[in-house]
Structure 1
Amino acid sequence: MFLSPAIKALSPETVRQELKAHRILLIDVREPAEFAAERIHGALLFPLSTFDPEALPAADPRPIVFHCGSGKRSAMAIERCRKAGLAVDAHMEGGIGAWIRAGLPTVKLDADTGAVRDAR
């Protein structure tokens, strides 16, 4: 029986440290409206609804780490990458929800003014 390699679940704090040190490429697989409302600074948007593993930045040597709202869609993105033959195996455990609960900074859209601002 073939077992798929384990998915590495990184904590929000680990992702923050690695992102800050420019050692990972953080890919957000949520939808554009979710990304616009609140996002992690430095994350790139590749929505799962239109996700194409071949469109990921191949020239960047940093390992890719996916994130979504809770961790489900990012795990799905990893599986799509594996099916395409790409060696991507990490995502942020708990998604942006866990990031926010940990009190880590985000960029947020102010619904009243339309301004984008740092949150937390």
Structure 2
Amino acid sequence: MTTLRKIDPRKLQQKMQAGEVILIDIRSPREFAHEHIEGAQLVPLGSLDRHDFPDSRRQTAVFTCRSGARTTMAASRLLAKGFRSAYVLEGGLNAWKRAGLPVQSAPAEPLPLQRQVHLIAGSLALAGAILAWRVAPEFILLSGFVGAGLLLDGLTGFCGMARLLALMPWNRQSASA
């Protein structure tokens, strides 16, 4: 079996309350600190291979991320951990919140770096397009520059904007806390 079965948020909440499952959040520590489902264990996907679950393998595991996409893509790695059975929270944390279920959050925590990158890149690309349309066609280069940066990130995994954002005071303070 190379795919995780799906479980909806309400069913997961019932199983968690009954103590029938363990919930493992595979997002980054910063994402987890920003908001997470109460009772979830943080095991970031990047450190999953180094993490052993000796006391938990007899249990049913439910894995989650923000939307369910990372969890689904990592299904074979997660299944290899040897749990009795394993699920993915359908729709991830986003679906949990849409269902009106509670999350623990720390609003003082900055948005995760990837979301900060998306907000800034999207804003710059939109600004470049609007300025090219309304002011001068040369502003389209701004949108092209942002697109090239995103392409570089996708191809190489290097995101200059994320590296710059990590140096910002609000992100350094959070990382050291």
Q: TM-score, with normalisation over the residues of structure 1?
A: 0.78
Match of 1:55 in 2: 51
Divergent runs of 4+, >4 A: none
- Structure with the larger RCO, 1 or 2 (CA within 8 Å, 6+ apart): 1
**Percent pairwise identity:** 37
Match of 1:118 in 2: none
SS at match of 1:33: helix
**Does residue 1:10 correspond to 2:22, yes or no?**
no
Equivalent pair of 1:39/1:108 in contact (CA under 8 Å): yes
Shift of 1:40: 0.4
SS at match of 2:94: helix
Distance 1:44 1:20 in 2: 15
More helix by share: 2
Alignment of 1:24-63 (within 5 A): 24-52=21-49, 55-60=51-56, 61-63=58-60
RMSD: 2.0
Equivalent pair of 1:78/1:89 in contact (CA under 8 Å): no
Match of 1:98 in 2: 95
- Which structure is larger by alpha-carbon Rg, 1 or 2? 2
> Would the alpha carbon gap of residues 38 and 86 (structure 1) be closer, same or farther in structure 2, given more than 3 Å must change?
same
Q: TM-score, with normalisation over the residues of structure 2?
A: 0.55
Provide Cα deviations, 1:30-89, integer angstroms capped at 9, x if missing partner.
Answer: 11111000010000001112222x62422123211100011111123331134x462553
Could you tell me which of 8, 18, 22 is aligned with 1:21? 18
More strand by share: 1
